[in-house]
Chain A
Amino acid sequence: MSAKEVAVLGVGMHPWGKWGRNFVEYGVAAAQAALADAGVAWTDVQFIAGGETIRNGYPGYVAGASIAQALGWNGAQVTSSYGACASGSQAIAMARAQILAGLCDVALVVGADTTPKGFFAPAGSGDRTKDPDWLRFRLLGATNPVYFGLYARRRMDLYGDTERDFAQVKVKNSRSGAANPNARYRQTYTVEDVLASPMVSDPLRLLQICATSDGGAALVLTSLEYARKRAAKPVTLAAVSTVTPRFPQTIIEMPNFATDSAATLAVPDVSFKDSIARVAYEQAGLGPEDVDVAEVYDLSSALELDWYENVGLCKPGEAVKLLRDGVTSLGGKQPVNPSGGLGAFGEAIPAQAIAQVCELVWQLRGQAAGRQVEGARVGVTANQGLFGHGSSVIVKAS
């Protein structure tokens, strides 16, 4: 499937934090870092794909154009994508398709966000009684951590996972995040620290739930021919999966009040979250056994364990064994979230899926000082947003 690959020639980020500045600033900083990393001038970029942010007014909805204007209009083709937490991957998918279709050689992908403090609440104003995202807060008080808490409690009941296991995920990721200059939270924690933090949505505590952050991330994607004139062995993008669920979807998802009914129709063989990575593996001609490093969406510490199973690192119910055996820690066979994950970053929605790819590229190049997965050659990402969005990206060393 190498004919379907493009090169990741450059990556760049603006550090995550709570900076309170215009999201465009973070996007421009990340874009300039990625362009410098690639050795490509902005004026040579032919296509810019932005991940949208919905909490920053009109400029956020047209993020691709807002950042292009700030970089200086250069006549590039432009697009902006929204797919909740998968917005960044949708921007990546757009740029990749343009290159694979032969419509351009050089594309810039960028996502950036400025977030409000505290819980994410529905964007916009006024009573919206037809909008499930508004109604779930109104009728249920169902915040995002409520859904994370339901999944975590379910793991405890089904598989015997414990609160200490969930805390251990945070402990593991805090060690990696401490070495990441782009991470917002750089301190390390013990299991006792985590279990002493305030309960938010039982069994999940404050230190196990990802914060909302400001940040920006960018990639320079190019055709393989273009890249090989500039880099001996560029990291390549081998798959981008942005699949929707299949009906009936039997796992409760944000922002829904109920699952689909499975009373009259056969349940799909593969669950939604399993299908996200499975489609990426099919595109890349690879399998979970080929994965050296993974960046997965630890919106809560317990959700990281779900992903071990969903991306195929183990069978359902076996994630805690991987964690306890150190398989997913730095130095283990398949380290997960060497960046520190969302636990160390907090979520900057349209930047997050792009940031996952930045980390994997640094890992595959051997540039992840202090958190390096030695000899990593294949990396996979996974994320999931609401309203049926999710994504998985696979990158390879060449």
Chain B
Amino acid sequence: MAKKRTPAVAGWFTLDAERPVLLGTRCRACGTVFFPREETFCRNPACVSTAFEEVELSRRGRLWSYTNNAYQPPAPYVSPRDPYEPFAVAAVELERERMVVLGQVVDGVGIADLEVGMEMELVIDTLSVDAENEYVVWKWKPAEGA
């Protein structure tokens, strides 16, 4: 039986198979964009707004820096496989939002495949699995056709 595809965190990204996006918020008063979504108080110190609208973040950006986890991180991280396999983590700079967003890098793309400045795109991929669910999260991968 196929496992249920379940977001590992609610409301932070879409599950669109072709063009998934991160979901942030924008302050209705000052226009500042937030990710993860800010929905209570605007964090611009000169703004007292409490009204926000949802925004889709850019799907592509430039690799700001990268590293990996040669050892398995401690809980609450859950490895999707046993034995553990190292994975890369990317910091990607979104041009329009002028914001750097972290994410795991997809399987099969390691440190040797990455270079600061390369174009990366957002995908949705497996974070962990249990008996009923495939928990998914956003990840970065080198952009197609870049």
Contacts and interface: CB of A to CB of B under 8 A. Distances in A.
B31 A202 contact: no
A201 interface: yes
B70 A199 contact: yes
Contacts of B137: 139
B68 A259 contact: no
Interface string A162-200: 000000000000000000000000000000000000111
B101 A157 contact: no
Contacts of A262: 98-99
A50 interface: no
B76 A200 contact: no
Given A137-B74, A138-B77, A263 B36 contact: no
A26 interface: no
B75 interface: yes
Contacts of B87: 141
Contacts of B89: 140-142, 146, 149-150
Given A150-B91, A154-B65, A202-B67, A141 B77 contact: yes
A261 B98 contact: yes
B15 interface: no
Interface string B82-123: 000001010100001111111110000001000011000000
Contact of A258 (B43, B45, B99): B99
A293 to B, nearest CB: 31
A261 B99 contact: yes
A140 B31 contact: no
B50 interface: no
Contacts of B124: none
Contact of A259 (B75, B76, B99): B99
B102 A201 contact: no
A249 to B, nearest CB: 10
Query: How many interface residues does chain B have, given as a range?
Result: 35 or more
A134 B32 contact: no
Interface in A107-162: 118-119, 121-122, 127, 129, 132, 134-143, 145-146, 149-154, 157
A140 B101 CA distance: 11
Given A150-B66, A261-B32, A261-B34, A143 B74 contact: yes
B73 A143 contact: yes
A256 B33 CA distance: 15
B23 interface: no
Given A137-B77, A262-B98, 6 more contacts: A146-B67, A150-B91, A154-B65, A199-B68, A256-B102, A261-B97
16 contacts: A119-B73, A139-B137, A141-B104, A149-B68, A149-B89, A150-B64, A200-B70, A250-B100, A252-B64, A257-B36, A258-B36, A258-B100, A260-B43, A261-B34, A262-B98, A264-B31
Q: Which 10 A-B pairs have the closest CB atoms?
A: A149-B67, A121-B74, A157-B116, A141-B73, A262-B98, A154-B65, A150-B65, A138-B76, A263-B98, A261-B99
